[in-house]
Structure formats: C-alpha cells, structure tokens
Amino acid sequence: MPLKTAKEYIDSLRKLKLNLYLLGEKVTNPVDNPIIRPSTNAVAMTYKLAHEAESADLAATSSMLTGKPVNRFNSLFQSTEDMVKKVKLQRRLAQRTACCFQRCVGMDGINAVFSTTYEIDRKYGTPYHQRFRRWLEYVQENDLCVQGAMTDVKGQRNLAPSQQADPDMFVHIVERKSAGIVIRGAKASQTGTVNSHEMLIMPTLNLRKGDEDYAVSCAVPTDAAGVTLIYGRQSCDTRKLEAGDIDIGNYTFGAHETLTILDNVFVPWERVFMCGEAEFAIMLVERFASYHRQSYGGCKPGIGDVMIGATASLADYNGVRKAAHIRDKIAEMIHLSETLYGCGLACAYEGWQTPAGNFQDNMMLANVCKHNVTRFTYEICRLAEDIAGGILATMPSEKDFRHPVVGKYVDKYLKGVPEVPTEARYRMLSLLHAMTFGQNAISYRTESMHGAGSPMAQKIMIERETDMELKQKLARRLAGIDEREDVTG
C-alpha cells in the first residue's frame, strides 16, 4: 500500500470500533467529535507532509526492512542523519500545528523495541526480534499510526510492581496460553491513543527478580477486546463545543491523552516481544527514554516558534515592539528555544549503531536536552505572558465581542494600535492563551515537565552517563597530582 494521504488516514479511523469514554459518555464517532477532531487533524498533518514536495524528504524515508517508502514515524533510524531528520521533521510539524502531533512515542518505541528484542534473542535464543520485524512490516505496509504505551499508573511509588497491594497497578501477564498471553492493567497519560490503530506496550521502569510477569512488551490493536479508553480532561476543552472559533485559539489542531485500561486483553504470541525477561526491561526503558527525550528538542522549538511569533505580534499590536526591554525578552525566548533545538540535533549527531543495526542517539545529550525542556519552556511561557499583558487571562468571550449591544465596547476598548483591527489582537491573544494555559498548554507547558520522564529522571541518567573517572583523571593530571603531560615528548 502506498503512503496514506491525510484524508485516507482519517477515513481509516472510522473503521475502528473503539471503546471510548469522554466526559462520562461513550463516544461512538470519535472522528467527528468536536473535542477530539483537532487532535485527529494534528496526526493527519504527519501524513500530509509525506506528500508535500518540500517536506517529503523529512516525513518519508525508505524502510530498513523492505526498502519501500514508509512514513518516518514508522521507520527505523538507519543513520545519525535519520535522527537529525527526525528532529527537523518534528520542528516543522510543530510549526504547522502548534501542538503535539502524537506519533513520536510510537516512533521512539519502535526503535527501542527493535534493538532490545535483538539483544534478548542473542542471549536467550527467543523469537522476539523476528516477530517484531514481521509486525513492523505489517505496520509499514498499511501505513498505520502506532501509539507507544509505556507509563503505568504505578500505584504506591515506593513499591516494586510485584509488591503492590493491587497487582494491576502495572501492566502484567495474568495468563500464558498455548496461543498467547493475557495482560491486565492500565497505562496513564497515553498520547494519541484515540487517533492510533495500534498500541506498542512497553514496561515502564527497571524490573528485578520477582517482577517477571511485568516484563512484557507486545502490540495490541486500539479496538481490541478488553481495551477501554478514557479521554483525559484538558483546560478549556468544552470551548470547542461553543459556536465561533476565536475563544478556542488554535481552532484546527490539538492533542489528547487517555487513561488506557487493559482488562484481560488476549495477545497472540506473534505480537509478543518480551515475556518475562525482567533484566532487559531497563535497556528498553532507557533506550526509549533517550529517543523520546531527544524528540523534545524538535517539537518544543517548533511550538516555540509559533509562541514567539504570537508574542512579537502582540507587542506590535500593543505598540511596544521597539521598546528595549521587549526586544530583550523576545531575544531571550529565541535563545532558549534554539538552545533546545541545538540539544536535539547534538544527541542525534553523536548517535551510535546498535547491534540490531538501527541507530541510537547519545543518551547523555538526550537527557540534557529534555532536562532543559523542563525549565526553558516555562520561562518562554512566562516571558510570553509578561509581554502579552494581563488581558491574556481576562478578555471577554467571543460571544461578547460579537454581541449587538456590548460588542461595540469590546471592540473599542480592546483595540491596540489604530491600524490593527481589534479582532486580530483578540485572535492572537486567544492563540497565546491556548498555548500557555488553555486547551493546547499540555503540548508545551505541562508535557515539558512530565513527558518522557520528570526532571529527576533526567538527572539520574545524566549522572549515570557521565564518565566521572575520566573527568577526575583530567583534573588530577593538570593539578599535578598525577603525572603531568609532557607536551614536548
């Protein structure tokens, strides 16, 4: 099958029979639901770019398995340049949508499971890697959207999975049958599940002896029996149910998360890629986390481009764009955003080839990238809110702006510079509102803190990946504690 168009992708979602709940009601038509549809449009953009001449080299590539054209989000990284293109694609998509386009977790999971299954098989002679290759060929051939499912609900955080009072706090194997396994549990904060055809289940943390039933990786259709999706609530989400488009801000695009319930889901053996090999869970988790922390060096600068553009526009509309302190703040926003992009590119360029043949990014730099994201995006948002002014949080509704009686007052008193219509300022304020603390804030602010692991997770990896012995040796040599280097020798 050739690469799907955006329309073909959206049409393919209509064939799914999801067991989905939103605001306490079962949803029978997610594609046309006004709250969900913006997130579907964001994923559709990943398909659209694969057919645009100026983006095709980024959005599509050749399969490492078959040599056929595939969407980059379903590809294996065959070089460091592939990982560079991944970051550039993510930035371009974020520039076009100003939100999370929901496919990065699946792409990063595909690459992590590919290399990890190879190493499990090499040690134990298991058939996981070949199973995974066949499943990935199926995904590529049908140009499916894959949702990566890693984050468990975790229960009592200071206890291992096997020590939980309720064993379902981590997804686990409850039965092994001749034809496959049965799994149960839940995955929290799952990005893009409603817009995906397949879920790639992965363990969420390091596992030890006694946790073998929790060492499971497998592929599950999003509409499989036993799967229930509960749509996550977002700030200002019901604005999408109102008439008009100004109050929504980013009217066309959005993102979503689900609480994904796996209630005795049967998985055939050909879709099982890890089953009890607890010592390999940490390899899978760390490789995935590194890929995904790199991803933030692409998408967040792209959203940042839109936020900086909106902030500069509001400064223009307010007549303060040339003020020295405004220019200084906007320059700082640019500096912070481009630093994130530089980190994303750096960990790609410093990548290495795994024994399986695909490429892994530099884990140290990927963690530095994501740790910067947990700080810099918040500062960018603060500066944007500073420059936009308090009206960002207090402006009247679009209904008031359109009202036959009070609308003239809103139009008169919310005007900035004379040459810019009040509606243009209104729309730009609403866009920035959506991105900083409205319905799209999850894509930039909150996700920056907790997505791909909270700050301490990155600090742990940064310390672990540091060659401290080398650094101390360098210092001892220059201090004369160890023998100094003879530059003439």
Q: Domain coordinates of the chain in residue numbers?
A: 6-278, 284-470
Determine the Cα–Cα distance for residues 164 and 366; give it in Å rounded to an integer.
32
474 class by beta-carbon count within 10 Å (0-12 exposed, 13-18 middle, 19+ buried): exposed
Active-site residue, 100 included: yes
123 class by beta-carbon count within 10 Å (0-12 exposed, 13-18 middle, 19+ buried): exposed
pLDDT digits (tens, 9 = 90+) for 14-32: 999 999 999 999 999 999 9
Active-site residue, 450 included: no
Over residues 150-164, the mean pLDDT reads 97
Choosing from 40, 117, 151, 191, which is the catalytic residue? 191
Return the H-helix or E-strand segment holding 136.
helix 128-141
Beta bridge partners of 344: none
Q: What is the CATH number of domain 284-470?
A: 1.20.140.10
pLDDT digits (tens, 9 = 90+) for 257-311: 999 999 999 999 999 999 999 999 999 999 999 999 999 999 999 999 999 999 9
CA pseudo-torsion sign 202, 203, 206, 212: negative
Active-site residue, 381 included: no
Over residues 371-376, the mean pLDDT reads 97
Over residues 242-270, the mean pLDDT reads 96
Choosing from 99, 275, 299, 343, which is the catalytic residue? 299
Determine the Cα–Cα distance for residues 322 and 311; give it in Å rounded to an integer.
13
Would the CATH topology of 6-278 be identical to that of 284-470? no
Choosing from 99, 100, 145, 347, which is the catalytic residue? 100
Determine the Cα–Cα distance for residues 174 and 180; give it in Å rounded to an integer.
11
Active-site residue, 423 included: no
Active-site residue, 54 included: no
Which residues, 6 or more positions from 130, have their beta carbon under 8 angstroms from its beta carbon?
121
pLDDT value for 176: 98
Choosing from 129, 197, 256, 292, which is the catalytic residue? 292
Choosing from 257, 277, 286, 398, which is the catalytic residue? 257
Amino acid identity, residue 166?
A: D
pLDDT value for 221: 98
Alpha carbon of residue 476 to chain centroid: 42
pTM value is: 0.96
pLDDT value for 445: 84
**Mean pLDDT for the chain?**
97
pLDDT digits (tens, 9 = 90+) for 182-204: 999 999 999 999 999 999 999 99
Residue 440 pLDDT grade (very low, low, confident, very high; cuts 50, 70, 90):
confident
Instruction: Check pLDDT > 80 for residue 10.
Output: yes
Residue 442 pLDDT grade (very low, low, confident, very high; cuts 50, 70, 90):
confident
Over residues 128-156, the mean pLDDT reads 98
Choosing from 118, 214, 296, 317, which is the catalytic residue? 296
Instruction: Check pLDDT > 80 for residue 66.
Output: yes
Angle at 379 between CA 374 and CA 384, to 5 degrees: 135
Class of domain 6-278 (CATH, top level) = mainly beta
pLDDT value for 96: 98
Over residues 86-95, the mean pLDDT reads 98
Active-site residue, 332 included: no
Instruction: Check pLDDT > 80 for residue 410.
Output: yes
